[in-house]
Amino acid sequence: MKLVVEPVTRPLSGTITVPGDKSIGHRALLFSLLSATPVRVLGLGDGADNGRSARAVTALGGSITRDGDALVIRGTGLDGMRPPAAAIDCGNSGTTIRLLCGLVAGQRFQTTLFGDESLSKRPMRRVIEPLARMGATITGVAAASGAAHDVMPPLAVGPATRPLTAIDYVLPMASAQVKSAILLAGLFADGATAVTEPGPTRDHSERMLTYLGAPLTTAGRRTVIDTRGWNRRLAGDGFTIPGDPSSAAFLIVAALLAGAREVRVPGVCINPTRTGFLDVITAMGGTVVLEASRDAGPEPVADLVVRGPAPGLRATEIAGDMAVRSIDELPVLGVLAARAHGTTTVRDAEELRVKESDRIATTCAMLRAFGVACEARPDGFVVEGRPDRPLAAGRVHADGDHRIAMAAAVAGLVAEGASEIDDADNVATSYPGFAASLTQLGAAITTV
């Protein structure tokens, strides 16, 4: 699929509801499999990634039915999962495959997990190693020479011949997916399984497991699941999935760059572990107003509002916790940096190397296609802003990465001619209606 984007001729305006948060959606589906009671899930996005997690739930013995706007998930409880009849296809979803590793690591049957060409190149040793320490058996495909000593999908998980062993594990690299896999495996271990993070990551798993009644405690960056004396029962009546801040970020940056009479994105998750992009925007001189702040189950939400353009944007440094908290938004923040005065540096973001693409390389290639100077570095990139003249009309190959395709579409709104984004099919993994949303705000985007 190709997107053709014309430069905007008037300020954007409108109210757009973004898909339910993909990260929370994965967890609502997979964790509900462990519930002893049916769970109603409202607001689940219709992206392909969440669909992979939904199919994994049914493959392992759960059922999913629709009741009006809600999905009703009838799980198996902790001890009722069934062997899947076939290998489970995780598609392009790294969250699905890594969380499933923890979910099925303690089962007395084998589960095979595989994915598409992109997922088959993503490293899995960092999740396999701690689970193996717990006694899980996980094998995969030896990595190519460029990623020596790592393991790639397909993965064969199990069967477990005895209960898993509780461990006290210090993550060598901040990763919410690895942390979540260990905590899920900890539900099937005898004792206290602890995970200590080197830096903050998304805490959706901790919030949701606590909401379901798991024996979980958190102190600083250390989280413990202690099953001693626990009745092994998880239960909950439902979740409302808040809007995805990562999807909202692309609309917000588009409004800041193209100008907005008023662009409103209601009901977006504002969990502090996910709002790094808002802090970056503020540091660069942009203004996003949070209105109607409230709670949606275990997560806080608010309406995000942009009024007017963002003149005088200035460069900043995105590093440390800020980089972790805005990791999925860094490609579109690179577009924002392209319109700022000065040089913006992104560092401490080596996680970008192992996303759907090498997002350091593909972000730089995307920005260069619009005439922006961008230098790739091992753990990030450097962007030279060009605020005083339009971006060049770009021709971008998204390399099958939805974040790169969407960031390029935002850049195209402030380019000097029509821009083309090739290989944009994977936008459907997280935000199938992205082009339609920008069109509703007043942009001119054609899907070919």
Spatial CB neighbours of 364, under 8 Å, sequence gap ≥ 6: 374, 375, 376, 381
Q: How far apart are alpha carbons 19 and 268 in whole angstroms? A: 9
Task: Output the CA torsion 259→446→395→409 (10° steps).
Answer: 40
Q: How far apart are alpha carbons 155 and 124 in whole angstroms? A: 9
**Marked catalytic residue, from 89, 328, 348, 399:** 328
Q: How far apart are alpha carbons 77 and 101 in whole angstroms? A: 17
Q: How far apart are alpha carbons 244 and 191 in whole angstroms? A: 35
Task: Output the CA torsion 339→343→349→350 (10° steps).
Answer: 110
Q: Which residue has the tokens 């219709």?
A: 46
Spatial CB neighbours of 111, under 8 Å, sequence gap ≥ 6: 60, 83, 84, 88, 100, 104, 156, 157, 158
**Residue type, position 405, single letter:** A
Q: How far apart are alpha carbons 7 and 417 in whole angstroms? A: 6
Residue 122 contacts residue 147 (beta carbons within 8 Å)? no
Sign of CA dihedral 228, 232, 238, 242: positive
Q: How far apart are alpha carbons 99 and 85 in whole angstroms? A: 19
Q: How far apart are alpha carbons 310 and 127 in whole angstroms? A: 41
Annotated catalytic residue 328: yes
Spatial CB neighbours of 218, under 8 Å, sequence gap ≥ 6: 203, 206, 224
Distance of CA 50 to the CA centre of its chain: 11
CA neighbours closer than 13 Å in the CB half-sphere of residue 215: 18
Residues designated as active site: 328
